[in-house]
Structure 1
């Protein structure tokens, strides 16, 4: 039986990189309960030993969202039968925020509906200029079920997010970058190099520093500015008290004197 999500490792920037691949290319990596559960499990496993996690889709597409065949089958059993599909996928997306390592999405081909929501969940997204992205739920009489109604307004602001979700227009990767939805886009001939450069950059950095930065940003968005500033001070003091931060300061001051 083919695994719905693959996990492999490589080295870049002197660190270990975990490659999590959605592996249903014949269905453009559409999400089933099995795939959502495997994604959650592979992400948790990858973060145990890797400095960076990269998510991408097999076969040239990122992910086209929920598998319509599975949704139709579960719907016949009643609304509650659909709950595991959405809750498991949302859980996998939520886990990304809690992992102590950066999670990068390498996006090409189609990234629609749930695939679009997965992009909103990662820490850094690199997309091909010609990728096709959209929250197209409304085009099929559906509503977002993987977090898009909550994350997209926080990323883009209400006017642009509301307009996009209601209209369901398709975006190119280049437009998504212009909107600030993703970190950057790259033309097809430069895409793999762009992904490799970002991953190597992250893998070479101090794991504890990146974990603290990620936590500060993620947790800070859930609270007030005052609480976030206080949390930042405490985290900075704790980090600077560690040996690895001391070594980093030593390298920095050494360069300053040279």
Structure 2
């Protein structure tokens, strides 16, 4: 998997792959090339059984300022087919990251706006800077979200708050994101990457099938009535028991007081 100047791919430690957005001069805004590279890399990683955790992070002072509006204005927006292709790639990127069997951890510093927020929302867990500024600002530019923002944000922070941020374009701080339950941790800016990598390495010590199946259970279960979700949990546990001996090892190690 080759690196490009705009996307750095690094297998940071066993079971952990880091995808680093690298357009700091453009606040890591998404143009067609970066979006395609991210989509291709997420799809390749999803098929790699040696990877258990994906860390999405960025260089510079921003995670991602959204779509590169300067790039869009230079001709892509005027070309109906080119614009739709970009929107399709962005939606596919967010959907692929969310659906990947690996756990996706986002490390958010600075700005995560519009498409950048949508990319963050597709992650399973977020570690954010306390002073980060996160928001869906499509409405402020007479745009409508196309990467899942209108669907994922209300599901993660509640209907009233979700509508407020989507319809007003208001930003939330990283500290607010943690209070809303959108982020699992809000830390000083200089600790964001280290904290995200610490979390990723801890998760990577876990059985891959247990991680993937638990993620699948939660994602699918949220779309089901409780009774069906509970049945799905039992059925998935049976699948896991038959597919792996990790459960036997885990119980035996506990009984023998081993790590």
**Does the pair score TM above 0.5?**
yes
> CA shift at 1:34, angstroms?
1.5
**1:176 matched to 2:169:** no
Q: TM-score, normalised by structure 1?
A: 0.92
- What are the Cα deviations for residues 192-239 of structure 1, in whole angstroms up to 9, with x where unaligned? 332232112101111110001001011112222222211110111222
> CA shift at 1:169, angstroms?
1.4
> CA shift at 1:189, angstroms?
4.2
- What are the Cα deviations for residues 15-64 of structure 1, in whole angstroms up to 9, with x where unaligned? 32101011211111111121111111112223413121100112231101
Q: C-alpha separation between the residues in 1 aligned to 2:4 and 2:191?
A: 31
> CA shift at 1:2, angstroms?
4.9
**1:243 matched to 2:242:** no
**1:202 matched to 2:211:** no
**Which structure 1 segments of 5+ residues have no match?**
none
Q: TM-score, normalised by structure 2?
A: 0.91
Segment of structure 1 superposing worse, 155-164 or 185-194: 185-194
Which residue number in structure 1 is paired with residue 30 of structure 2?
Answer: 31
SS in 2 for 1:154: helix
Q: How many residues align?
A: 252
Q: C-alpha separation between the residues in 1 aligned to 2:56 and 2:4?
A: 18
**Which structure 2 segments of 5+ residues have no match?**
none
SS in 2 for 1:133: strand
Residues 5 and 42 of structure 1 are in contact (CA less than 8 Å); yes or no, is this contact kept in structure 2? no
Alignment of 1:1-258 (within 5 A): 2-11=4-13, 15-47=14-46, 48=48, 49-72=50-73, 73-78=75-80, 80-241=81-242, 242-255=244-257
SS in 1 for 2:15: strand
Residues 55 and 196 of structure 2 are in contact (CA less than 8 Å); yes or no, is this contact kept in structure 1? no
Q: C-alpha separation between the residues in 1 aligned to 2:204 and 2:253?
A: 18
> CA shift at 1:182, angstroms?
1.4
SS in 2 for 1:60: coil
Q: C-alpha separation between the residues in 2 aligned to 1:34 and 1:28?
A: 15
- What are the Cα deviations for residues 80-117 of structure 1, in whole angstroms up to 9, with x where unaligned? 33111111011011011221110100111111110011
SS in 1 for 2:256: helix
SS in 2 for 1:104: strand
RMSD value, Cα: 1.8
> CA shift at 1:70, angstroms?
2.7
SS in 1 for 2:12: strand
Segment of structure 1 superposing worse, 245-254 or 203-212: 245-254
Residues 24 and 58 of structure 1 are in contact (CA less than 8 Å); yes or no, is this contact kept in structure 2? yes
SS in 1 for 2:128: strand
Segment of structure 1 superposing worse, 191-200 or 129-138: 191-200
Q: C-alpha separation between the residues in 1 aligned to 2:239 and 2:148?
A: 33
SS in 2 for 1:205: coil
